[in-house]
Every structure is written in C-alpha cells, then in structure tokens.
Amino acid sequence: MVGLGNPGSEFAGTRHNVGAEVAALLVERHRGRLRAEKGLHALACTVSIDGRSVLVAVPQTYMNESGIAVRPLVRRSGLEDSDQGGDRHLGARLIVVHDELDLPSGRVKVKAGGGSAGHNGLKSIEHHLHTRDYLRVRIGIGKPRGRQPGADYVLERPGSAERAELAVAVGEATDAVEAIVSKGAGEAMNRVNATS
C-alpha cells in the first residue's frame, strides 16, 4: 500500500498529502513505524492486517516522481515476481491512496485501474510500472473555486471545516485499505462506494 504525498514539513497538512496521512494512520493502527529503508525512496513498514503482511510506504520523492519510489517498492515486496504475470498484472496486490480533484471534498472511493485524471503522481507510477492495473483509494478534495490553478489548490492547507472533513475521510480511506486486505477488492468496493 502506497500513500502519496510530498515530503517535508512544508507540505504536511496540504490536500495533496492525504494519501500519506492514510499510510501513517494505517501503520499507527497496526503498531508499526515508518522508517527509511536502504534502496527505497520511501518511508516503509510491514504490518499485519488480518494475518496478512502488508508493506505500507510513503514515497520520499515529490509527487510528480512517485513512480521512482513505487517501482523499487514493487520489487521489494515481490509483487512483480508473482505468478500473475509480473507487474503488468498487479491487480489488487498494489493499493495506491491519493487525493482526487474529481470527487467532492471528503468523499472516498475505491477504483480498480483506469486513467490518471491528470494526477501527476499516478502518471509517474504508470510511467515507471508500465501499467494502470492496480487499486486506487481516492480521497476527494474537491475542485478549486474560481480560476485558481489546480496545482496551487492541492498544495494549500484547507480551512478548519474542510480539514475536519478530510480527517474523517482519511479514517474512512484507512478502513477501505483494511477492507481490501481482509475482505478483498470487490467487497471493499461495494461497501465503500455505496456509502461514500
């Protein structure tokens, strides 16, 4: 599971970092600790969820270079060597959690595959893995009002009301990752997408 964001305290709490917040919460719930690991461009930790080992990571590259971190994570976890045909068929074995401009703020959805919808982190992952075939847990951050560029909007810290909404969404997205691991992608999608 990879939670996308930008590294550094100047990006903490921004809309673009909600994926990284999910990774941190997931690790906290399962009594782990994210740490730098040799050969990875990420903070990572393996936790046990329902008896399954899950590698949880937060890239330490900037968002538009997320694939540089995800590629070695896929190798490290052995996903590309699976009997399902390598990393072109990651399917439900790779979960990427990210912010989504095309969903209202606070809405959480699970999606299998698909395009990047202009998200630079997803574009980078697709470029480095040569596939779109992985699960996404999408956290809605809404669209900017007026003519504000999307790039500026995602790097802002939201006001207190929106921050509270996003905190709830981070919890729901963490629940969604746990459901994917323990119940499977189909059941998780049915549950999360029906209620969000």
* Domain residue limits, the chain: 2-195
Q: What residues contact residue 1 under an 8 Å CB cut-off, 6+ apart?
A: 23, 26, 54, 55, 56, 57, 95, 96, 97, 177
Respond yes or no: is residue 98 known to be catalytic: no
pLDDT at 76: 83
Contact 45, 34 (CB under 8 A): yes
pLDDT under 70: residue ranges of the chain: 80-92, 196
For 115, counting Cβ atoms within 10 Å of its Cβ (0-12 exposed, 13-18 middle, 19+ buried), the class is: exposed
Burial track 80-95 (b if 16+ CB lie within 10 A, e otherwise): beeeeeebeebbbbbb
Q: Which two tokens stand for residue 182?
A: 């323990």
* Region 2-195: CATH code: 3.40.50.1470
Provide the pLDDT for residue 83.
43
The pLDDT, as a whole number, for residue 192 is 93
Q: What pLDDT score does 117 carry?
A: 84
Q: Which of 16, 41, 98, 119 is catalytic?
A: 16
